[in-house]
Amino acid sequence: MSKKDETLRGVLDSDEKNAHWGTIGVALIVGLITLFVFIFVWRKGRVSRRGICLVGLCESGKTLIFSQLIYKKAVESFTSMKENVGVLDIVNKGALKLIDIPGHERVRQRFFDSYKNTARGIVFVLDSFSLNKDIRDVAEYLYTILSDPVVSSNRPQVLILCNKQDHPLAKGPQVIQSVLEKEMNVLRNTQTNQLEAVAEGGNRKSFYLGQEGKNFEFADIRSLRVEFAASSAHTEDLESLKKWLQSVA
């Protein structure tokens, strides 16, 4: 090979190396831009989600809790077919939009659907005294919320507020968690079997709440952090809820 050919080959090799590194550089720049855009959109969405949804069955005490937080006093309540909305200022954290979702079975899902996209947190209020009687309805409503695709995607913090602790026969949060986990396990098995029957022969993968292969536990819901706390709206004991709101805000 002549010296001229060697020189030409060296130039071509150099051009190929430069082109290779150029391609890598472009890929890195595109990757970084994509990452920054993702972080920006995620943070913007996080900031814009300032809603706290109060959900639960009728007569669980949601509206009384709402009135004490917003108006600093008890307001006479009754089964409502529309939501209550108020602004709650959190010290050093800014304002939260508190939404009292009606507990009536006919309308609650429609109102929850209207506010779930802006939910920073969800407070599921239940009656600690009448839980044995309402356990099936409570578990079904809670299961529906926790398995909601929007909730799973946005990952708001969830508090299960065991209200009416002033009643002498009320169950404590730890007992309620255990009872709910057993009922949710039964409900999950039923829901999973139904979905598998519907999807048989197809490629659709149903959403599974918790960890497969073991009994249901709230700690196994990877997309959500679920906490339990006690309250007594009638005696204005909402300290656990207020601390949780402070941490969420």
Domain boundaries, the chain: 51-199+209-248
pLDDT confidence of 194, banded at 50, 70, 90?
confident
pLDDT digits (tens, 9 = 90+) for 170-185: 999 999 999 999 999 9
- Digit-coded pLDDT (tens) for 75-84: 766 677 899 9
Q: What is the pTM of this model?
A: 0.78
- The C-alpha atoms of residue 249 and residue 244 are separated, in whole angstroms, by 9
Q: Which CATH architecture has domain 51-199+209-248?
A: 3-Layer(aba) Sandwich (3.40)
Q: How far is CA 154 from CA 49, 83, 119, 140, in A?
A: 9, 22, 8, 21
The token pair at 168 is 């002498």
Q: Which of 29-43, 51-65, 100-114, 199-213 has the lowest mean pLDDT?
A: 29-43
Q: Is 236 strand, coil or helix?
A: coil
